Structure 1
Amino acid sequence: MKVGLYFGTFNPIHVGHLVIANHIVEYSDLDQVWLVVTPHSPFKKKSSLLDNNHRYQMVDRALESYDKLRVSDIEFKLPQPNYTINTLTYLEEKYPDYNFSIIMGEDNLKSFHKWKNYNIILENHDIYVYPRISKGKVESELVDHKNIHFINSPIMEISSTFIRKAIKEGKNIRPLLPENVWQYLDEMNFYKK
């Protein structure tokens, strides 16, 4: 089974995340995409970041009607600070019959060479890159690498930061969230203060 790993804080998950994940699983050779909820780093102060479990619950709810999309809390169990190479190593040991790939935005490809053991990741895993609105083209020797695959997915200009700010301002941003995620946020009064 080929699984794409889509990492994020998902604070909160929104329709842009779903459009990208679903598009990639439908228009690539991947069998599934796992949305990997990244834990709150104990070394960073970020008061707007909801508790790990709440973010996991929102992603789980958002994916209820998507057969090929799964939520993963795998990084909650790993020592912090964690690096993608550690997550991949752990998953390969736990699921030896699976083939794991990484999904990233085009903007992240620019700094991929700074990731811990990026060359090992690149040689052993496919990387699916979706377009982001950014200034300038990605200038990297990685663009032509055999394991880098550019996916022509819709460009989504929605951000979790925008959603949090809009909720705090009392704006109606319901169309940007899956309905059951909106209900969860509303019931829990998240991001309103």
Structure 2
Amino acid sequence: MRHLAVVGGVALVSGVVVASAIYRRRAALRSRLSRWTEALELVKAFGDSSGLEAELSPGRSPLRNFALTSAVQALTDRRAAAAAQLGSAHAAALSPASLREASRYMRFASAAYGAALMALFGLLPPPTREQLELSVEAADRAGICTHTGIRTEDLLRLDTASLDVAGSSDCLRHFLAVDSAGGGAVVLALRGTASLSDVVHDAVAYSEPFCGG
């Protein structure tokens, strides 16, 4: 019985301590809520007296705000998913075979800039006297075939002339070729900025998001 009395006394004391702690927390919370309520009332009174509340209230639409927040969150999720997918693709593409393939097709990308720029950056040997007498298109054809290793007949279409010279401003400079040595892949190589007219187009063009970014 003595042990039961001691245990009962300890339980009673513990209950009093817990109840006291809960009471103090509730009192602190009530005090905090009271201060918050007072602050909100002051803000509302200022909004009413200044006319700010009437100006802001039409834009306080919970459904519209929720829809906007949901759309922003969906866009964020899509971008995160695209970044994760792109990151996993990069991680999986670092095998030696993939790197060799990437190096090969980088040649097609650089070849789209034409023979003159490739020679300038040391991607082609210095032109011979006969090559200097070729037209720009013929020199580009020869340079592309030399740099990429494709046959002349595999270069299906060539449109790399600067817009300062010829061509349509609605079409990017490019060439289309068959990579017979690479399994017969059809390669479309698009050229980037390489002339004054390209710079002008870059300055006035609108950007578009790609791959969720």
TM-score range, shorter chain: under 0.3
What is the TM-score of this pair, normalised by structure 1? Answer: 0.24
What is the TM-score of this pair, normalised by structure 2? Answer: 0.22
Which structure shows the higher strand fraction? 1
Which structure shows the higher helix fraction? 2
Q: Larger relative CO (CA 8 A, sep 6+): 1 or 2?
A: 1
